[in-house]
A = this chain, B = another copy of it.
Amino acid sequence: MKSCGVVVEYNPFHNGHLYHLEESKKHAEADCMIAIMSGNFLQRGEPAIIDKWHRTKAALRGGADLVLELPFLYAVQHSDYFSQGAIQTLAEVGVDSVCFGSENGRIAAFTEAFEHMNKHQEEYDVTVRRYLNEGYAYPEASRLGYESIAFPSGSIDLTQPNNILGYSYVKQLLTYAPDVEPLTVLRKNNHYHDEEIQGKIASATSIRKELFKERDMTEKAESSLPPSTVDVLHQYKNNLGRWHNWEAYFHLLQYKIMTMEESTLRCFHGVDEGLEYRLKRTVKEAATFHQFISSLKTKRYTWTRLQRTLAHILVGTDKQEARVLLRETPPPYARILGMSDTGKKYLRKVKKETSIPLITQPQQLDHEMLDLESRAAAAYYSVLTPERRVEQLNREYGPPVIHA
């Protein structure tokens, strides 16, 4: 059985994701599509609009055969750790290829960039360090680093978010899993950060914006979503009472920061360079999450970096704990969120071959990374009513989603 891995967030699963999944399957000539998906919190440091179980349902109905959870600690990270967690896990479950979407569509552009970087790594590092020391944020310092080592023409633009991720996947594959083939398919229409829905393929950002603005499903949003996603979004809101965004969590975050000493705040992953003082000073005056992060933002602290740090404070990721856990290579386990019949067959085969435990429920393994995962679940569901919250926290210990 030929298998292909994809790295996804599906927040929510839309027509563009459907297209990518179908094209990847064709391109990889795969029988089994394996998605590794962020759980309840996402790479840019945001809570997912609906939880991982409902997003898994939509993914299975959209054609995924196996959905694995990217642990919280890898998911809410910059591209390096994010790709490390995702690609190494996919490699551990034995995928034959990994296929990602890109504006370029030509995998050679990525492998060439990797070789060029390998040759000029030192020069790049020196430049980046210099700009970081001057107080530039990492993305900007990195951009200047790339400029300094003059990529050959035809290479990808490493300052674009999708290219950065694609490049990280390729880098992980070529260094850690040389047997797994890197593949890319051309992305269609929308841009990552588009804020307005345009046509059948829209960005997830624009879809979420529409849903929160109207506080309901609209025709416009529906036009860019497969019916299964429309279903789960309705289901979630009807059963659990809401969709999630940062604003819903602000009162908890604010309370937590206000009742902590600076020295305790400093223990959270991402609270560096005196950010604890800035957090305490600004949080008192804010009435919304948007206000808070706007007043926190500086040249050094980008919006995304701050969001990630705030997600780690919300969940309670200890700095020391994160450091120890991220040292483990590969990730200590793979958790299965859902599977189709094909996925089930694939799993039976791969279970004998993989070197890491494949678990379907957290109670099958005693590991600190799972303690952190249960804190992430607790934080995520904290904004539900007590009854729904207790239900969802128990669901966390239940079996995966099965889709025939």
| Interface residues of A, Cβ cutoff 8 Å to B | 251-252, 254-256, 258-261, 264, 284-288, 314-316, 318, 321, 371, 375, 378-379, 382, 386-387, 390, 393
A261-B316, A261-B321 known, 18 other contacts, Cβ within 8 Å = A251-B382, A252-B255, A255-B256, A255-B378, A255-B379, A255-B382, A256-B256, A258-B379, A259-B314, A259-B316, A259-B379, A259-B382, A261-B371, A264-B318, A285-B390, A286-B386, A287-B390, A288-B386
Q: How far is the CA of A295 from the CA of B205 in the complex (A)?
A: 43
A308 to chain B, nearest CB (A): 16
Q: Which chain B residue lies CB-closest to A253? A: B255
Return chain B residues, CB-CB under 8 Å to A251: 252, 382
B258, B382, B387: the one contacting A287 at CB < 8 Å is B387
- Residues of chain B with a CB closer than 8 A to A318's CB: 261, 264
**Chain B proximity of A241: nearest CB distance (Å):** 14
A377 to chain B, nearest CB (A): 9
Cα A181 to Cα B172 with chains together (Å)? 78
| Assembly CA distance A321 to B263 (angstroms) | 12
B390 touches A315 (CB 8 A): no
Q: Is the CB of B264 within 8 A of A382?
A: no
Residue of B nearest to A378 (CB): B258
Majority secondary structure of chain A interface residues (helix, strand, loop or mixed): helix
In the assembly, how many copies of this chain are there? Answer: 2
Smallest CB–CB gap between A76 and chain B, Å?
14
Q: Considering the complex, give the chain B residue whose CB is closest to the CB of A368.
A: B261
Chain B's nearest CB lies how many Å from the CB of A395? 12
11 contacts between A and B (CB under 8 A): A251-B252, A255-B255, A255-B379, A258-B375, A259-B315, A259-B379, A260-B316, A261-B316, A261-B371, A285-B390, A287-B387
**A373 to nearest B CB, angstroms?**
12
Closest to A288 in B: B386
When distances are taken between beta carbons in the complex, the residues of chain B under 8 Å from A261 are: 316, 318, 321, 371, 375
* Inter-subunit contact A284/B390 (CB<8 Å): yes
The answer to whether B316 touches A382, judged by C-beta atoms less than 8 angstroms apart, is no
Closest to A251 in B: B382
Please measure, in the bound complex, the distance between the C-alpha atom of A359 and the C-alpha atom of B312, giving whole angstroms: 38
Q: Are B264 and A316 in contact (CB under 8 A)?
A: yes
Rank and list the top 7 A-B pairs by shortest CB-CB distance, nearest first. Answer: A287-B386, A258-B378, A259-B316, A255-B382, A259-B375, A252-B255, A259-B379
Instruction: Give CA–CA (A382, B264) in the complex, Å.
Output: 19
Q: Which of B252, B284, B371, B378 contacts A378 (CB 8 A)?
A: B284
Write out the residue numbers on chain B whose beta carbons fall within 8 Å of the beta carbon of A254: 382
Tell me which of B258, B259, B321, B382 contacts A258 (CB under 8 A).
B382
User: Which residue on chain B has the smallest CB distance to residue A381?
Assistant: B258
| Alpha-carbon separation in the docked complex, A315 to B256 (Å) | 9
Given A258-B378, A259-B378, A382-B254, A284 and B393 touching (CB < 8 A)?
yes
For residue A256, which residues in chain B have a CB less than 8 angstroms away from its CB?
A: 255-256, 259
CA distance A390 to B254 in the complex (A): 12
Report the separation of the CA atoms of residues A83 and B336 in the bound assembly, to the nearest whole angstrom. Answer: 57
Interface centre among A251, A255, A321, A387 (most CB of B within 10 A): A255
> CA A251 – CA B251 in complex, angstroms?
10
Residues of B within 8 A of A264 (CB): 316, 318
Select from chain B the residue with minimum beta-carbon distance to A372.
B261
Measured between C-beta atoms, what is the minimum distance from A196 to chain B in Å?
Answer: 29
A252 CB contacts on chain B under 8 angstroms: 251-252, 255
**Distance A5 CA – B321 CA, assembled complex (angstroms):** 51
Shortest distance from the beta carbon of A47 to any chain B beta carbon, whole Å: 13
A305 to chain B, nearest CB (A): 21
Give the residue name and chain of the B residue nearest to A390 (CB).
B285
Q: Which residues of B contact A375 (CB under 8 A)?
A: 258-261
In the complex, the chain B residue whose C-beta lies closest to that of A382 is B255
